[in-house]
Each structure stands twice: as structure tokens, then as C-alpha cells.
Structure 1
């Protein structure tokens, strides 16, 4: 069992690895999101309601998150762009499934943050377009979803909103910590290069 876990961990690390730290970050985030999706129905069952039918439809986005590293190997811009696009589409689907009272649209915030962080300054047009899409989706669709597939009472919706708010905050925090580490490594490399040049 321990050997299997180690082998699986090594395979996941190899799949997520990329020499470009921004692409590697996108790969890690995408696999983290995909690995957490199976737990969402359980969270709903424990914290909100025994009716978790709508949650199964969120698995439609799982293949897109899982394919980010594979796409990035062929085209790193497309791979990075796929991550926030999959997140935005999953958020739209979830808003339709659960209704805006679930506060699931809060996930558009980490989608926008991820889009802005994943691209270099010369790729800023892509980053801004994806962030604008996340913002535009909220503005244009917030009042257009109609009746949700899942119907909960006020207390259940409050619990679901708390779940989504906490989840979105944790994801945003993870992303910022990840990029803080990338920035620190870049600074250390720059300092080492300056010391080598001075010496």
C-alpha cells in the first residue's frame, strides 16, 4: 500500500512537472482542484443537505482540470489559459445548478486572480481577457440563471454559502502562497547571479 501511494505520488509529480514555473503552478492548481472535486458531494451531504443530486453534474469539469498539464506540454499558453477557463465554466454551471444564493459565484474571484498571475507581462492581453471574462460572467449572468436544479431552504443555503466562501478563500490563499514561493525563488536566483557576477 505504501509503495502504491509513493508510486502514485511520483506519477502525479511527474505529470505536473514543467520547467516553466508558471506552467508548473497551473498544473499543480488544476490537479488540486480536480482532486478535491470528488469531496464536494460529501461536503454538501455533511454540511448542507442529503439532496446532493446537483453536485454530480460538477464532475463534467473534472476532465478539463485534469487535462491542463497535458495541454500545457503541447502549448503552455493554452494549458495555462485552460485552467481559469475551466474554473469559470464550472462556476457558471454550479451557479445554474445551485442558484446564486449559494454564493458559488465567489469562485470567479480566484479564477480572475489565477488568470492574472499565470501569464508573463508580454502575455498580459491573455491574462486581462480571462480576468475580464470572469468579471463579465458575473455581471451578465448573475440574474439570468433562472430556477436552480437544487432547491434548499434558507438555513441550507446559508450553510452552502459558507462552504463556498471558505473554499474560495482557501483556494485563493493557496494560489497566492504558491506564487509567493515562485517569486522568492526568482529573487534568490537573481541574488545568486549578482553575487557570482560581482565575485
Structure 2
């Protein structure tokens, strides 16, 4: 791809993620970052954990939902933000089923919890508390309810998988914090004016 073609692609992605509501714009950015990283997760798994990467393919089931967040956001910022959280919590549960409780994949519920508390305005507190509660419920689901994992890894491989998932979830949480800190002033002004066209 030529440099001009790459610039056009980047501009198109930027336009797709753009939104006048700062919380919606942040949610769009996070959703597209997740979409761009999902294809690499099987590679990370191969390099850091095991050549058996087939359980990671289930993550691609959530890709269309993350990719649809900016489109949903244009219809309704509340719908778009809710879709991001549903996709995140749903993907984490799906991965827990695929990898089993020893994988530590539940750590991805922490960025979901942070998003639940930051993405909604004061007037939307019920949604914030509802999604936060959903993240806690997902974490507390007994392993017996989710069935056997798709593959049983060795003890050392599970330890490596836990490290990989912790680093990935910590990086995502740090990105969320950085994006919100960078737009704190515009978020505050948006709250005072009721947001861009509301939810």
C-alpha cells in the first residue's frame, strides 16, 4: 500500500471513530484499538504460551460487535457505549469458557469495570452501576457453570497465559485512563451542557 493510501485508510478510521461527545469518542477509540489487536492475540499466545492457539479463535466472534460500536454510537451514544461494555464482558466470558478458569482471562473484566464507571454521565448512573454489577457477576460465576475448556494447558503454560492476560488487560486499563485524563476538561464541559445531543 502506498503512503497516500495508508493516509487515506488512517483518515477513514479517524473519521469513523470521531464523535462530538467526548465519552463516545473515547469509547469508539477503545473499541477500534481492541479490533486492531484481536488478530494478534493468537500470535501472542503462540509466542508466549503454547503452539496450541485454537481456543483463542473464539475472540473473533466478538470482533464485529466491537467494530460496530462507532456505527451504533451515531444512532445513540448510550447504545454505543452499552454495546462496547456488552462486547467486552461477553468476550471475556467466552474466553473464560474457551481457556478455563486457570487462564486468568477474567482480568479483562477490570477494564470493563473501569469503563462502566467512566463512560456514563451522572444522569446515566443506573447504567454505570448496572454494567459494573454485571462485570462482578461475570467474575463470580462458578467454573462448573461454564463447562470444560477447549484445551487443557500445562501448569507452566497456564502461568504464562496468566502473565499474558494480565499484561494485556493492564495495558488496556492504562490506555483507558490515559484517554480519559487527556480529555478531562472536555468531558467536564460536556457534562455541564448535557453532552453532545444527549444520549
- Deviation of 1:52 (Å): 0.6
Structure 1 equivalent of residue 154 of structure 2 = 153
Deviations 1:37-95 (A, max 9, x none): 00000001111111111111210000000000000100110101111110000000000
Structure 1 equivalent of residue 44 of structure 2 = 43
Mapping of residues 5-154 of structure 1, within 5 Å: 5-154=6-155
Q: If you compute each CA radius of gyration, which structure gives the higher value, 1 or 2?
A: 1
User: How far apart, in 2, do the equivalents of 1:85 and 1:186 lie?
Assistant: 23
Question: TM-score, normalised to structure 1's length?
Answer: 0.91
Report if aligned partners of 2:23, 2:187 keep a CA contact under 8 Å in 1.
Answer: no
User: How far apart, in 2, do the equivalents of 1:35 and 1:141 lie?
Assistant: 31
Q: Secondary structure at the match of 2:50?
A: coil
RMSD: 1.4
Structure 1 equivalent of residue 197 of structure 2 = none
- Deviation of 1:140 (Å): 2.4
Q: Point out the more displaced range, 160-169 or 49-58.
A: 49-58
User: How far apart, in 1, do the equivalents of 2:187 and 2:56 lie?
Assistant: 40
Where does the alignment leave 5 or more consecutive residues of structure 1 unmatched? Answer: 191-199
User: How far apart, in 2, do the equivalents of 1:161 and 1:13 lie?
Assistant: 33
User: How far apart, in 2, do the equivalents of 1:127 and 1:175 lie?
Assistant: 16
Q: Point out the more displaced range, 51-60 or 63-72.
A: 51-60
Number of equivalent positions: 189
Does 2:175 correspond to 1:163?
no
Report if aligned partners of 2:65, 2:87 keep a CA contact under 8 Å in 1.
Answer: yes
User: How far apart, in 1, do the equivalents of 2:187 and 2:116 lie?
Assistant: 20
User: How far apart, in 2, do the equivalents of 1:93 and 1:140 lie?
Assistant: 12
Structure 2 equivalent of residue 195 of structure 1 = none
User: How far apart, in 1, do the equivalents of 2:62 and 2:187 lie?
Assistant: 33
Structure with the larger helix share: 1
- Deviation of 1:13 (Å): 0.3
Q: Secondary structure at the match of 2:141?
A: helix
Q: Secondary structure at the match of 1:147?
A: coil
